[in-house]
Amino acid sequence: MTTSSPSSSSSTTIPNDFPTSLHPLLTRPGSSIPLIPQSAFSPELSTEITSLAQSERWSDGLRAALHLLNDETGKAHDVVTDREDCEACNVVHAVLHRREADYWNSKYWYSRLSHPWILSFYPPPSSSSPQSLSTARSSAKQFVDEVQSLASGSGRGKGGTASSACGAKNLLAGVKERQEAELKGLVRYLWEHRGEKSGGI
């Protein structure tokens, strides 16, 4: 069961049993989540994530996803390194390389994913297209290309180049909105499926 924050946005839905001390991660505005983070959103939350993960015996995938949402790519990377046996860790690995601006490596990890979350977040390009792991992987890699294009300053995003500063700002806002939904959605998914052995969690 989940509850929504006052904005009722799907990207701010908080599971009922999610630790109150970590609510700021799921309620922070998407505009505050950088494409390429330079520092932690909250150093205090970093300590809290580590402490709760140890005391509650959370999976490495969940712990890494929480660090990633806290803009700690280094800590997330430390958790998932050498955990290719953990599909949830592989999802985090793909996303964190994109947030480190290591786009080729991000696409490499997306190409390997078989975690069920990718099918739920990266739907087929049209309603008439069949859903498959291949189409989900392709959609995820297209999103990496969009982020790379915007981060490189070329102003390209889905649908071509931005013809104005306003257009570029709108492209960036759209990409950041998708990133927010991806990061928060991954945390919610791993939280709600914690303790399950299916899906490599």
Summarised one tens digit per residue, pLDDT across range 15-61 is 989 999 999 999 999 999 999 999 999 999 999 999 999 999 999 99
Return the closest-CA partner of residue 185 out of 13, 45, 8, 7: 13
**Side chain identity at 46, as an amino acid letter?**
S
| Mean pLDDT confidence for 192-201 | 62
Q: What is the mean pLDDT of residues 1-24?
A: 68
SS3 27: helix
Residues 108-141, buried b or exposed e (16+ Cβ, 10 A)? ebbeebebbbbbebbebeeeeeeeeeebbbbbbb
* Nearest 10 degrees: Cα torsion 95, 41, 1, 79: 50
Q: Does the pLDDT value for residue 184 go beyond 90?
A: yes
Instruction: Quote the pTM value.
Output: 0.85
- Cα of 96 vs its chain's centroid, Å: 8
| Residue in 103, 104, 139, 144 with CA at minimum distance from that of residue 121 | 139
